Amino acid sequence: MKKFIILSLLILAGFKTYAAPTDIDSLKQKLQLTVDSLKGPVYTEIADVYLKYDTISNRRKRIQYQNEALNYTMLALHKYSYYNDSLGLRVSFDALAKVYTSQRKFSQAKWFVLQSINISRIKKDVPNLITALIKLSTVKMEIKDYKLAMRDLNEALTLSIANKMPPLEAAVQQNFAYLYNRMDNPAKGAVALKRADTILDRIKAQEAAMMLAIDKFARDTISAKTIDSVAKKKVVIAAKKPVKAKKLTSKKTVAAL
């Protein structure tokens, strides 16, 4: 039994190992059949497979995946640029920033995050702008540019509060905590982390209340429909019952004396 379990685990591990190459092969075949104007998204799909390099423990293979992610993202970037696809460009900028941050090439990472921010500003895409500002602050923390990292987080916090986006506000507070800890100010870091936890607890409570309200509404609706259905059945049954004709009682004529 033990041998069978071990063998099963090895087979499953084999499937997981070969899942990514199979996906890549099928995507590369898809690329050959795709017209030039639509190749950008396919290059992005291939890059997305390689962008999962964080899940790979082997260092050499992880570096190989990072390089392939850069290669296919650059190919996608050129297509998006040629066909003036700004959203595709932003996806590519974000991917390149991720890889360069992992490779500790912070100048390149910073440049690509800034390009992503510019697109979000032009499109007035607040959620993506906040996310990019958080990424930019992280890069600046790595190069110990704490003052500018603080400025980015302050802008992200202002945007998240003004636009009522609690999940992003919590993410900003978590990054404030990280920044304060990097600045050897654990007291302020703890305050920021507590704020983040408070926001997240509030979100959970609101979600729980909403689920209860939905559940109650569903039960009330079903109950009302059941009552209505029973009432209708009673009406139908009553309508189908034969109505017995009442016997007419003949009035006795009293002879006048």
Answer yes or no: is pLDDT of 140 > 80: yes
At 237, is the pLDDT very low, low, confident or very high (cuts 50, 70, 90)?
low
Q: What is the pLDDT of residues 193-224, one digit of tens each?
A: 999 999 999 999 999 998 988 988 888 777 66
Answer yes or no: is pLDDT of 87 > 60: yes
Answer yes or no: is pLDDT of 97 > 80: yes
In terms of Cβ atoms closer than 10 Å to its own Cβ (0-12, 13-18, 19+), residue 253 is exposed
Q: pTM for this one?
A: 0.75
Average confidence score pLDDT of the chain? 86
**What type of residue sits at position 116?**
S
Q: What is the pLDDT of residues 41-70, one digit of tens each?
A: 999 999 999 999 999 999 999 999 999 999
Tell me, what's the pLDDT at 35?
Answer: 93
Asked if 139 contacts 98 with a C-beta cutoff of 8 angstroms, the reply is: no
Answer yes or no: is pLDDT of 244 > 90: no
Cα–Cα distance for residue pair 135/112, rounded to 1 Å: 11
What are the residues whose beta carbons fall under 8 Å from the beta carbon of 72, sequence distance 6 or more?
43, 44, 46, 47, 50
What are the residues whose beta carbons fall under 8 Å from the beta carbon of 232, sequence distance 6 or more?
none
Answer yes or no: is pLDDT of 24 > 50: yes
CA nearest to 194, candidates 171, 179, 174, 180: 174
Tell me, what's the pLDDT at 23?
Answer: 86
Q: What is the pLDDT of residues 33-43, one digit of tens each?
A: 899 999 999 99
Stretch 59-84: mean pLDDT: 97
Instruction: Please give the full DSSP string across 154-216, using - where no structure is assigned.
Output: HHHHHHHHHTT-HHHHHHHHHHHHHHHHHTT-HHHHHHHHHHHHHHHHHHHHHHHHHHHHHHH
Tell me, what's the pLDDT at 14?
Answer: 44
